Amino acid sequence: MSISSYKPHYENLLLHIQQKLAEYLRVKEQSPKIEWLADELHVSVRTLQRQLYKQNTSFKKLLETERMKRCEQLLLQSMNFTEMAMCLGYSDQSALARAYKAYSGQTLLQRKQQLKAQSER
């Protein structure tokens, strides 16, 4: 499957990339590299970057969004923050905590408590 097949429908490319990123984070429990994704799409890294740029996004932005979505799912489980960080491809718990705070404005603990309270209602 090549990017050229996506030209008429760029939103399909973004959706496909988001799905691949989510799959890596969920199934393989690791943060994918742009090289891996480009290889799966049978395009060069630079071509992938150009196509994402045309959509006003980047691999880094898409990856961070998918990491935060997965983080929300993991917060509902009994996994500790260090394990979560490793599953999401962060170097340690503090890197995850900083990224989550920048993304959501909340700390991981605040969000975990909020989700727990919501599930108890």
Q: What is the DSSP string of 27-61?
A: II-SPPPHHHHHHHHTS-HHHHHHHHHHTT--HHH
pLDDT tens column, 57-100? 999 999 999 999 999 999 998 889 999 999 999 999 999 999 99
Angle at the Cα of 25 from the Cα atoms of 7 and 72, rounded to 5 degrees: 105
CA atoms within 13 A on the CB side of 11: 0
pLDDT tens column, 30-65? 789 999 999 988 889 999 999 999 999 999 999 999
Structural domain including 88 reads 3-120
Overall number of domains in the chain: 1
**Side chain identity, residue 61:** K
Can you give the CATH number for the domain in which 78 is found?
A: 1.10.10.60
pTM: 0.82
